[in-house]
Chains A and B, each alone.
Chain A
C-alpha cells in the first residue's frame, strides 16, 4: 500500500479497515463485547447473584447453618422455613446460603492453588525452556497420571474430612492444565520479534514476561478458570455426596448427600442443592464460552455475514442457473484468445449489505505462447484477479461484474456472481495450472515429492501409476533437477526452497496445460535462485508454447519474462501494453511512480521520493 493510501487511513477518524471501534486496549473491547453478548450477561448476572447471596448469607439467612429444630424435621415450606427443613430440622434456605459461601470459596481455592502452581511454572518453562521445562514436564506427567479421585480419598483418610485440604489437593492435581496452557501460549510468542525488541531495549525478563508474555495467557487463563471452578464444585460435591464431606459444615454436596438419604421422604431436599450447583456450574461454563466468543469476535462476524449473504442472495443463483444454459457462446471474434477477462469486478459483501470491491472493471487477454505480467503493490487486486481465473476465490467472494472466458468458453459468463466450479474443475490442473508464491507451504510435508507429482497425473490424465512415475522423473529432469530419482523419493523438508519451486513448476506443467498462472513465483526465493527459476520458466514456456499470467511486484522480473504488462492499483487496471512501452514510456503517473521507486540506476544515498512531498509528514 502506498503512503498516500496510508495517510487516508490515518486521517480518517475510524479506520475503514475495522468495523468495530478503533479500540484502545484489547481487554476493554473484550469486556465490552462480552457485555453485548446475551449469554455473557446472563452468566455474569447469575454468578454475581449467587456470589452476592453467598456474601450476604449471615444477613439473609434466618437461621444458623447448623441450628436444628428437632420438633420440625423434614417440614414442607412455610413462612418460617421458606424451603422447608431437613431430617435434623435445619432450615434448607439458610443452609443453601451458607453452603454457597463454602462451595464457592473452596472452588476459588482450588482454582487459586492450580493457578499459583501452574501459571508461574508454565511461564518459566515456556520462556526459558531448558532444564526447568524438562523437569516440570516430568512432574506434570506424573501428576496427570495419578488417579485423582483415589488420591483425594487417600488425602481424606489421612487429613480428615476438611473441604479446604481436599480442594488444595485437587488444585495441585489439576495444576498441569494451567501449566500446559501457559507453556504452549508462551512458547508461541517467545520468539516473536517484539520480544526480541524488548530484550534489545534492555527490559528485564520479569518485565518482558509481565508486559509482553502475560497478556497472551491472560484470556485463556480466565476461560480455563471458569471451567476449572465448575469442575472443582462438581468434584467436591461428589466427594461429599459419597459421604466423605465434613458433616459439621453446610455445603451443597453435604446437602445433596442428606437429600439423597431422604429422597423418599422429601425429594425437594435433593432438588435445591442440585439446582444451586447446576446454576453455578452452568453460569461458569456460559461465562467461559462468552469470553471465548468475545475474543474470537472477528471470526464470528464473518460467519454471520455468510449466513446473511446466503439468505439475501438465494434468488440470485437460481437466476444465474437459468442464464448458464442460455449464455454459453462467447462474443464473436474473441474465441481465439486463450483467456479473456472482460470488465471483471470482484467484491466481498459486508455485514451492512454493501459490497467491498477489490477488483473493479479489469479487462485483459492472454494468447497462446504469450506471457502477460500483472504488476501492482499489495492490495492492488492482482492476486484476486488471478484467483478468479483459477476459480480459487474464497467462498464469500462474489463476481460483481464482467466475465471470464477460457479458450472460447465462459468460465464466468456475464451476469454470473460466482465462478462455476463444475466448469472450472474440468479445466483446473489439466488446462489451467498454478504456480504459487510459497513453494514450501504448497507441498504437503506428509507425502513424498514423487507421490505429490504422480497422484494428480493418475487422477487427471487417467494414466497408470508406472507411466505417471516415468513422466514425473522426466519432468523433474526437465525442470533442471540434477538427481530426479533422489528428489522423487524425498520429502518436501529435505529439499531447498528453489528446488521446491522447481518441483511445483514440474507439477504445474505435468498435465500439459495451456495456461499457467504464476503468483509471485520467485518472491520467496533468493536472487540467484530467482534468476534460475526465471530461466526455467522462460525455457518451458517457449518449448511448450503455453500462455502465462505472471503476477509480480518486481519490474525486473517483468522485464525478464513478459511480453505484455498490465499495471494494477487499488483494484483497477491503470495501464496495459507491450512491455517495452510500459517500462520505457509509461503514460500513467502511477506507473511512473512505481518505476521511480526502483533503485537500479539511482545515485546511491540520494532521496528517492524527496521531490514528491512526503505525504505523511
Chain B
C-alpha cells in the first residue's frame, strides 16, 4: 500500500485487522479461525486480485465483505461506513453499491425462476416499478451480450458461460460501485473464460466499477487486477502491484505458486519445471536451516 499508484486512488473499501471465525460444530470446541488479521483496501475503479489455494480463506474474505461470513474482530469500512456487522436493512441499502458474482453459474441462479425474474429481483428490492425494471433488465442483457428474448428463459437453457453472463448482469443491475467476484471464471472453459474476462474489463471501463476478484489462478488475477494480494492459511502473505506480485514475487509461497502454473510450451515448461525444483530445494534448505537455528 506504500506505492504511489495506490495513494492516488482514495480507498472506499477498507478492511482492517479482520478476523473471521466459524463456530465449531463440536460442543465447547474452539471456533475455526478462517481469517487472521486481514488488511486490504480497494479504490474507485480498481481491481484487487485475491489469489490463494483452496482453504486459504480468499472466498471467506469476499463473503465477509458481503456480510455472509461471521466477523469476529476488525472493521470493514465501505465509503466511510462501518459495515462489519450491518443489519439486513443496512444491507439492503448497501446492495445498491455492493454486489457479487459467484463461482458456480449452475447453483447461483434459481433454477425455477426465469432470467427476467432473476434480474428484476434486486431492482424490486430497491422499489423500482415494474416497467422501469423491465427496461433495465433489457439494458442489462444487452450489456452482457445476451439476446433480449432470454428474459423468458430458464437458467437450464443456457450454457455455463451464458449463465455467468446472467450472474454478472444481476450484479450490475443496481450499478454497484464494487463487485465481489468469487472465482467467476474457474468453472468455465478456456475460450469462454477469455470472453467473460473481456466482459469484466469492458464493464469496468464503461462504469468505473471496482472489483474484489478472487481466483486460484495467478494468470487470471494477473490479467485482470491492478493490485494483487496473496493469501495463505487465512493470512495475506504478500500484496502489491499486479505485475510485481505475479511476475517477481517475494514470499516463498507466491514464488512456488508462480512456478507451479504450467506454461503452454514444452521447452519453456521444462525450464519452469527445473526452476521450480530448484526453488523447492532452496526453500527446503532454508526451512531446515531455520529449523536448526530455532
Q: Which residues of A contact B (CB under 8 A)?
A: 1-3, 5-6, 9-11, 15, 17-18, 22-26, 192-194, 196-205, 207, 211-212, 215-216, 377-378, 497, 526-531, 534-535, 553-560, 579-580, 583-584, 593-602, 604-605, 607-610, 614, 616-617
Contacts and interface: CB of A to CB of B under 8 A. Distances in A.
Interface in B169-227: 170, 189-195, 197-198, 201-202, 216-220, 222-225
Given A1-B160, A3-B191, A378-B160, A10 B150 contact: yes
30 contacts: A3-B195, A6-B159, A10-B149, A10-B162, A23-B154, A25-B114, A194-B118, A196-B108, A197-B102, A197-B170, A199-B68, A200-B67, A527-B217, A527-B260, A531-B262, A555-B190, A557-B262, A560-B273, A580-B267, A600-B263, A604-B225, A605-B223, A607-B201, A607-B202, A609-B198, A614-B145, A614-B198, A616-B146, A616-B162, A617-B142
B13 interface: no
Contacts of A197: 100, 102, 108, 167, 170
Contacts of A194: 107-110, 118
A605 B217 CA distance: 15
Interface stretch (B33-41, B77-85, B89-97, B132-140): B89-97
Interface in B146-173: 146-147, 149-150, 152-154, 156-162, 165, 167, 170
B27 to A, nearest CB: 13
Given A6-B158, A559-B265, A377 B190 contact: yes
B121 interface: yes
Nearest to B253: A528
A598 B191 CA distance: 8
Most chain A CB within 10 A, of B94, B153, B264, is at: B264
A200 B98 contact: yes
Contacts of B107: 192-194
B190 A597 contact: yes
A467 B99 CA distance: 58
Nearest to A593: B191
Most chain B CB within 10 A, of A26, A534, A555, A559, is at: A559
B257 interface: yes
Interface in B238-264: 242-243, 256-257, 259-264
Contact of A584 (B126, B216, B220, B265): B265
B197 A608 contact: yes
B24 interface: no
Given A193-B102, A202-B95, A559-B269, A17 B112 contact: no
Most chain A CB within 10 A, of B103, B145, B190, is at: B190
Contact of A609 (B67, B100, B195): B195
B157 A15 contact: yes
Contacts of B16: none
Contact of A193 (B104, B146, B158, B262): B104
A2 B192 contact: yes
Contacts, number: 226
B130 interface: no
B68 A609 contact: no
A358 to B, nearest CB: 16
A220 B231 CA distance: 44
Given A196-B100, A199-B67, A526-B53, 4 more contacts: A23-B154, A531-B261, A595-B264, A608-B195
A542 B170 CA distance: 50
Contact of B198 (A17, A23, A207, A610): A610
Contacts of B67: 199-200
B216 A527 contact: yes
B122 interface: yes
A6 B66 CA distance: 31
Nearest to A556: B262
B282 interface: no
Interface residues of B, number: 87
A326 to B, nearest CB: 43
B266 interface: yes
Contact of A608 (B94, B125, B194, B268): B194
Given A10-B150, A197-B108, A595-B264, A204 B88 contact: yes
B266 A583 contact: yes
Given A553-B189, A599-B223, A616-B146, A1 B159 contact: yes
A526 B51 CA distance: 11
Contacts of B99: 200-201
Contacts of B165: 616
A377 B269 contact: no
B125 A556 contact: no
A354 to B, nearest CB: 21
A599 B261 CA distance: 11
Contact of A527 (B95, B104, B193, B218): B218
Nearest to A602: B223
B192 A202 contact: no
B233 interface: no
Nearest to A212: B110
A18 B153 CA distance: 12
Most chain B CB within 10 A, of A9, A497, A596, A604, is at: A604
B86 to A, nearest CB: 10
Contact of B112 (A25, A204, A535, A607): A25
Contacts of A595: 264
Given A2-B189, A200-B66, A553-B190, A605 B224 contact: yes
Nearest to B193: A597
Contact of B145 (A1, A605, A616): A616
A-B residue pairs, 4 tightest by C-beta: A556-B262, A202-B92, A555-B264, A193-B108
A608 B219 CA distance: 13
Contacts of B189: 1-2, 377-378, 553
A560 B201 contact: no
B122 A559 contact: no
B198 A527 contact: no
B157 A531 contact: no
Contacts of A200: 66-68, 91, 95, 98-100
A373 to B, nearest CB: 11
Contacts of A2: 189, 191-192
B264 A583 contact: yes
Contacts of B109: 194
B256 to A, nearest CB: 6
A604 B243 contact: yes
B286 interface: no
